[in-house]
Amino acid sequence: MAPRDPAQVLHQVFGYDDFRGDQREIVEHVSGGGDALVLMPTGGGKSLCYQIPALVRDGVGVVISPLIALMQDQVDALRALGVRAGFLNSTQGPEERRDTERAFLAGDLDLLYLAPERLRVGSTVDLLERGTIALFAIDEAHCVSQWGHDFRPDYLMLSELHQRWPDVPRIALTATATRATHTEIAERLDLTGAKHFVASFDRPNIQYRIVPKAEERKQLVDLLRAEHAGDAGIVYCLSRRKVEQVAEFLTAQGITALPYHAGLEAPVRAANQARFLREDGIVMVATIAFGMGIDKPDVRFVAHLDLPKSVEGYYQETGRAGRDGLPSTAWLAYGLGDVVQQRKMIDDSEGDLAHRRRLAQHLDAMLALCETVECRRVNLLAYFGQAGEPCGNCDTCLTPPQTWDGTIAAQKVLSTVWRLKKERNQSFGAGQIVDILVGKQTPKVTQHRHDELSVFGVGTELRDVEWRTVIRQLLARELLAVGGAYQTLSLTESSGDVLRGDREVALRRDPERPARSSRSRSAAAAVALPAEAAGVFERLRAWRGAAAKEQGVPAYVIFHDATLRDIATGAPTTLAELGRVNGVGEAKLARYGDQILETLAADPA
């Protein structure tokens, strides 16, 4: 029988000596039968908050999760710890499903994972009623919220769990939620009376960097070669076509990259995801269809080549880096085209006015994060209602951006847009506005006689790229609008204040080059191992890779990198010493202990 004390379970099963943050209080509350709503960042240890109570309480912990494609890996990871886990979802055949159901009824499971749509099937509800349930865990709980970034209607029915099983504790968990999302989760899941736990959303091991978009693919390759050679990472793009193009480009540059988007055949998606999870050093180029619930701890970077639609989405996506707590990078290339594209997508969206207004609020917050001259981390935490101090580990802290009085420059841009409309009844995009300001005699300028306008050539004090930065910031602050099939610029209600001189405009000056050297020094130093330990670490990784391949599971199911690093550094010589390493529980010690000691004792030559 499993030990009944949470601290014992933590040590004997999971191999950890201490709880982190709010984990102990959450585990004890739920183990005692209380309901809980948990907001905790990715990598903060949310899973333990329901896994340990499920092992402590009588019955089976039922986990509601939308991550069908990942349930097998989640179950494999638990079984490697000696936990009796299973799942029910649409990927199973009848016999496998019946075996799982029999194990549930016989009390031979500790945890059962279900997709939310399974609860619509009467036979599943009947099955649950015939068994003994320790708790219900609702993972990825933001999926219930219209304010969240991944709404799923199947989650709306989960409020019925409390009505049908009033004595079974429920714990809902999410890695991201604003106050509005938090409130909606509580209301929709009937958890207003639950105890709420809100951990800090700070991920201090992640360095946030947002760079001006120039040659974005070259910028990405430079980042990977200089700082993340051989590392696993995710590159997010907005469109399926761009995903495939970027994956092909990286492959041509000698970087192992795979595409992932909803338009690929299901077997291709599954195979690419499996390679990413099971192999070291794979770069996944993906739309946001990829990533939720990805429990790969050694993702060292997340890069965005297109602007995310919301801070919540950005936080969730960047949070997939550095789940093991080791230094990682969140890198975003951002430019004028991103702002134009996102504004146009909102205008073209099919929702009602309230929906478009909500999308605009999300985008405005994301733009504020991009354009801030203050600490990115402070700005990010403030979005989730939390205070923070300048971190010293983001681009704006490492290379503080300058601001300048851009009032006159803003007036020149707005005057050009106004004169085109007033004098010629014309609207143009940013490129034509810039050509007029710098006095460039292009065929389009000549064709429309824009060289005759009084504003032609009045902006020679700035380069083309600098004018595009000005326009980007005016769009971000809604001092300019974009619309129409050709994404043309127009004035807004606020433009007049600037044109009349009633409003000053302070602008952010983009750095000439992105901050990189500080990341290379500080983070690389933090990751570096002594030379002797580094060699041992690589031998342990090679052993782990072979064991994972033999068992057909991701390498992290055997051990996380952080655990291998601790083993390499501590160099244990006995099973007792090995058992004291964080992440080495009793089941893994019994299964892998002798192999690890043999690997440590092997002659490196």
List, in sequence order, the alpha helices (H) in 429-554: 430-438, 443-447, 464-476, 495-499, 517-527, 531-551
Asked whether 215 and 183 are in contact (CB, 8 A), the reply is no
Beta-bridge mates of residue 303: 235, 331
Inside any domain, residue 1: no
Q: Are 169 and 284 part of one and the same domain?
A: no
Q: Are 194 and 229 part of one and the same domain?
A: no
Q: Is 350 exposed, middle or buried (0-12, 13-18, 19+ CB in 10 A)?
A: exposed
pLDDT at 343: 85
**Over the chain, what is the mean pLDDT?**
89
Residue 295, pLDDT > 80, answer: no
Q: Are 55 and 145 part of one and the same domain?
A: yes
Q: Are 45 and 126 part of one and the same domain?
A: yes
Residue 576, pLDDT > 60, answer: yes
Residue with tokens 């909606």: 184
Asked whether 217 and 246 are in contact (CB, 8 A), the reply is yes
Number of domains in the chain: 4
Beta-bridge mates of residue 490: 481
Helix (H) or strand (E) holding 338: helix 336-348
pTM summary value:
0.82
Inside any domain, residue 415: yes
pLDDT at 579: 93
Give which of 467, 411, 419 is closest to 440, Cα–Cα. 467
**Can you tell me the mean pLDDT for 410-431?**
93
Domain-ending residue, one of 444, 474, 509: 509
Q: Which residues does 364 contact at the CB level (< 8 Å), separation at least 6? A: 476, 478
Residue 465, pLDDT > 80, answer: yes
Residue 176, pLDDT > 70, answer: yes
The pLDDT > 70 percentage for the chain reads 94
Half-sphere CA count of 335, side-chain side, radius 13 A:
13
Inside any domain, residue 450: yes
Domain-ending residue, one of 137, 166, 198: 198
Inside any domain, residue 520: no
Q: Are 422 and 438 part of one and the same domain?
A: yes
Q: Are 413 and 363 part of one and the same domain?
A: no
Q: Where is average pLDDT lowest: 178-182, 309-313, 332-336, 592-596?
A: 178-182
Q: Are 242 and 365 part of one and the same domain?
A: yes
Helix, coil or strand: residue 299: strand
Q: Where is average pLDDT lowest: 54-58, 158-162, 221-225, 487-491?
A: 158-162
Q: Which residue has the higher pLDDT, 374 or 294?
A: 374
Helix, coil or strand: residue 139: coil
Residue range 136-146, pLDDT digits in tens:
999 988 888 76
Q: Are 413 and 387 part of one and the same domain?
A: no
Q: Are 342 and 466 part of one and the same domain?
A: no
**Can you tell me the mean pLDDT for 300-327?**
92
Residue 514, pLDDT > 60, answer: no
Inside any domain, residue 514: no
Residue 588, pLDDT > 80, answer: yes
Q: Which residues does 82 contact at the CB level (< 8 Å), separation at least 6? A: 13, 585, 586, 587
Q: Which residue has the higher pLDDT, 72 or 253?
A: 253
* Owning domain of residue 466: 403-509
Residues 503-541: b if buried by 16+ CB within 10 A, e if exposed = eebebbebeeebbbeebeeebeeeeeeeeebeebbebbb
Q: Are 174 and 215 part of one and the same domain?
A: no
Residue 516, pLDDT > 60, answer: no
Asked whether 171 and 137 are in contact (CB, 8 A), the reply is yes
Residue with tokens 């205008």: 347
Residues 117-152: b if buried by 16+ CB within 10 A, e if exposed = bbbeeeebeebbeebebbbbbbbbbbbbbebbbbee
CA distance 483 to 351: 17
What pLDDT band is residue 1 in, cutting at 50, 70 and 90?
very low
Domain-ending residue, one of 198, 227, 256: 198
Q: Are 262 and 330 part of one and the same domain?
A: yes
Q: Are 463 and 341 part of one and the same domain?
A: no
Q: Is the dihedral of CA 188, 194, 200, 206 positive or negative?
A: negative
What pLDDT band is residue 168 in, cutting at 50, 70 and 90?
very high
**Can you tell me the mean pLDDT for 327-353?**
88
